[in-house]
Structure 1
Amino acid sequence: MRARKTGVVLGLAAVTLGAAACGGSGDSGKVRLSLVSYSTPQAAFEDIIKEFQKTPEGKNITFTKSFGASGEQSRAVANGLKADIVEFSLESDMTRLVDAGLVDAGWNSGPQKGMVSNSVVVLATRKGNPKNIKTWDDLLKPGVQVITPNPFTSGGAQWNIMAAYGAKADKGADKKAGTAYLHALFKNVPVQDSSARKALQTFSGGKGDVMLAYENEAIFAKQNNQPLDYIVPDDTLLIENPVAVTKKSAHPKEAQAFLTYLYGKKAQEIFVKNGYRPVVDGVPGGERFPNPPGLFTIADFGGWPKVKKEFFDPKGSIMADVEKGIGVSVEG
């Protein structure tokens, strides 16, 4: 088990929309791409776009950008939000666009299976860890407040839940124990924000004793002023984040060039600097990430289609029952 000191991200908007550089689609020779992403990689994308625009492939490309809760972003694109490149917290939000005919079914056929960054679920605490949080069991202690987003709007919340469930259910072998743990855990959750970034802002505002979070959120927060500690549990879940070009992109060649750039060492190094684990070999800094001995993946539970139905169907699922038991809406 490992702990590191870090700080909390402050003041980042959950949803932003703006241009990454001067110029627009009407400028001579300029192409404007629309990036729609979940909330947490915002800072990484700002830096990646700047570096991409220095390359021959990116010098005439500008961007509009939208960041928000993964599920909300996916549904917005399905409902007509313009997007050339989409990145989400979890694969099921990409599958929604495949089913809608907006992303090619072969989006995950490459060497990285369509995943552009990795992370793990960690336990973030106040500086000095005053509640002495060390394991998943400690989250159930009386008086401990746990911050995690709403799983019916946030992809990050779904990763958190599956990490907690898998750790207590022996990767799904003991369903009864895992389900009982989730019911007990959420009795200690005082508020459920719509996205992982909003949950981080809630924690930074002083609410809660421990936060379930992406490892990259905790590492990225180290660059800010309000410190916290975090623990990588021995048993935790590998987070895999998908990216794709949409089929309705007005500039597919340029969008594909940006997608290709995301897998290059420069972009992957920027992801690493922002706390993400790289998906290609040889990226500086990638060797510093700890390897939890009990690391598991979503495949251990049968993959996202099975998990979504069993855990996150608002019409009837494990988390629908958990949320109804504490009076929280399950409508995403």
Structure 2
Amino acid sequence: MFGNDVFVPSAYGDDATTFRVTGSPDRFDSLPERSPMNLPKPGARWRAVAALALTTSLVAACGGGGSSDVAGESGGANAETTLTLVAYAVPEPGWSKIIPAFAATPEGKGVAVTTSYGASGDQSRAVVDGKPADIVNFSVEPDITRLVKADKVSKDWSAGATKGIPFGSVVSLVVRKGNPKNIRDWDDLLQPGLEVVTPSPLSSGSAKWNLLAPYAAKSDGGKNPQAGLDFVNKLVTEHVKTRPGSGREATDVFLQGAGDVLISYENEAINVERQGKPVEHVNPPQTFKIENPVAVVTASQHQEQANALKNFLYTPEGQKLWAEAGFRPVDPAVAAEFTKDFPAPQKLWTIADLGGWGDVDPALFDKENGSITKIYKQATG
């Protein structure tokens, strides 16, 4: 359905961008030089909430959520081929629609799909270490890049009109029903005594998006990185009291009563609202565009079927299913059908605005020297 030049994605309300089908992703200018930070020492309250974080993690892992492997299969016992999907936790509602719909197509006939959902970074590392997978869906591009470096995903995985991104979302704020704390924007999260739930960026790709949203808003798209880091530092050290391992686990923790605000994906917020949970969501005036990549694993013994499943995601039917599950489609025609469901923010920052993942990930999220990683480590001890 995509030609050589395609305008995508219009579901976000931003100006349409032309992408060339062939070629590798663009590289962008580096982040401005970062200033040193004086980070506070961990407080006693982190030690006090450690037990809560562990308890909620165990609850989610034991069936309350999708942060540990959640197996599922579509296609029936007589399937000729079984694909294994390894994905981050949050898109499970979308895949639960996609997989049976794909099985009903000529390309999907006789194909079963076994699923494994978990924290994006953990899932990516597991595939590198040998976890079986035919197709992967992670929260952030660096988790795919890790597989490229391990020769498990082709270097040209992102060639194409949508750069390997079949769907996406925006960062939202989930609040209790009625919005009792009157949360509207990022500054509202710094109210004295307010507790914020968001997963740890040490394991979760969702957490990276969640923290990039206020960072971009407060740094003016990376022009003043210290201002962005100062805000994230205050948010994490004074208001984030638990560290769930994944976006879905963070949702479970919030629904169990922890915190006043959950930073999450818009699609995750929509999902829990549809379940009748006593919550609602607010999209801040300035937020961040979430792009969730999908790729076929080169070692897959079922390349034809895995690519067929991947290609189905971009069909009008596949795009509508993602939209119905609360995700923003990348097909402009489908996006036009769902404009009421996905309002455009006043300002939508993107990873490209900050220099691209090649600059952002090492600068902010490197496991040892990333600025936001250091904030988390010092805040949590």
TM-score range with shorter-chain normalisation?
A: over 0.9
Residues of 2 paired with 1:115 and 1:12: CA distance?
Answer: 25
Residues of 1 paired with 2:184 and 2:94: CA distance?
Answer: 29
The residue aligned with 1:4 is none
1:286 alignment partner AA: F
Is residue 273–residue 280 contact of structure 2 (8 Å, CA) maintained in 1?
no
2:376 alignment partner AA: E
Per-residue deviation, 1:164: 1.1
1:317 alignment partner AA: G
Per-residue deviation, 1:287: 1.8
1:158 has 2:211 as partner: no
Q: 1:114 aligns with which of 164, 170, 173?
A: 164
SS at match of 1:172: coil
The residue aligned with 1:6 is none
SS at match of 2:347: coil
The residue aligned with 2:24 is none
Q: 1:281 aligns with which of 332, 343, 368?
A: 332
The residue aligned with 1:37 is 87
Per-residue deviation, 1:123: 1.0
Query: Quick check: 150-159 or 292-301, which moved more?
Result: 292-301
Residues of 2 paired with 1:317 and 1:57: CA distance?
Answer: 44
Q: 1:11 to 1:21 in 2, by over 3 A?
A: farther
Is residue 72–residue 115 contact of structure 2 (8 Å, CA) maintained in 1?
yes
Residues of 2 paired with 1:233 and 1:327: CA distance?
Answer: 27
The count of aligned residue pairs is 316
Is residue 147–residue 212 contact of structure 1 (8 Å, CA) maintained in 2?
yes
Q: 2:319 aligns with which of 262, 268, 276?
A: 268
Residues of 1 paired with 2:225 and 2:161: CA distance?
Answer: 33
Is residue 166–residue 292 contact of structure 2 (8 Å, CA) maintained in 1?
yes
2:338 alignment partner AA: G
1:308 has 2:373 as partner: no
The residue aligned with 1:131 is 181
The residue aligned with 2:71 is 17
Per-residue deviation, 1:242: 0.4
Q: 1:101 aligns with which of 146, 151, 174?
A: 151
Residues of 1 paired with 2:223 and 2:304: CA distance?
Answer: 46
Per-residue deviation, 1:18: 3.2
How do 1:181-330 and structure 2 match up within 5 A? 181-186=231-236, 187-283=238-334, 285-288=337-340, 289-328=342-381
Residues of 2 paired with 1:46 and 1:90: CA distance?
Answer: 21
Residues of 1 paired with 2:302 and 2:173: CA distance?
Answer: 41
SS at match of 1:283: helix
1:54 has 2:104 as partner: yes
Residues of 2 paired with 1:216 and 1:229: CA distance?
Answer: 12
1:198-249 deviations in whole A, cap 9, x for unaligned? 0000000011001111000111112212121211111111000100111101
Is residue 20–residue 46 contact of structure 1 (8 Å, CA) maintained in 2?
no
SS at match of 2:230: helix
Is residue 368–residue 374 contact of structure 2 (8 Å, CA) maintained in 1?
no
Residues of 2 paired with 1:199 and 1:278: CA distance?
Answer: 24
Per-residue deviation, 1:116: 1.1
Residues of 2 paired with 1:93 and 1:237: CA distance?
Answer: 19
1:291-317 deviations in whole A, cap 9, x for unaligned? 112111001111112111111112112
| Identical aligned residues as a percent | 42
SS at match of 1:257: helix
SS at match of 2:279: strand
Residues of 1 paired with 2:251 and 2:380: CA distance?
Answer: 23
Query: Quick check: 31-40 or 317-326, which moved more?
Result: 317-326
1:74-116 deviations in whole A, cap 9, x for unaligned? 1011110111110111111001111110110111111111001
In structure 2, list runs of 5 or more residues that go unmatched: 1-59
Per-residue deviation, 1:189: 0.4
Residues of 1 paired with 2:66 and 2:355: CA distance?
Answer: 34
Per-residue deviation, 1:327: 2.2
Residues of 1 paired with 2:210 and 2:178: CA distance?
Answer: 23
Residues of 2 paired with 1:324 and 1:59: CA distance?
Answer: 48
1:22 alignment partner AA: G
Residues of 2 paired with 1:165 and 1:111: CA distance?
Answer: 28
1:135-168 deviations in whole A, cap 9, x for unaligned? 1011011110000000010000000111110011
Per-residue deviation, 1:133: 1.1
1:21 alignment partner AA: G
1:235-273 deviations in whole A, cap 9, x for unaligned? 111000100111101010111111110111111111111
Bigger share in helix:
2
The residue aligned with 1:5 is none
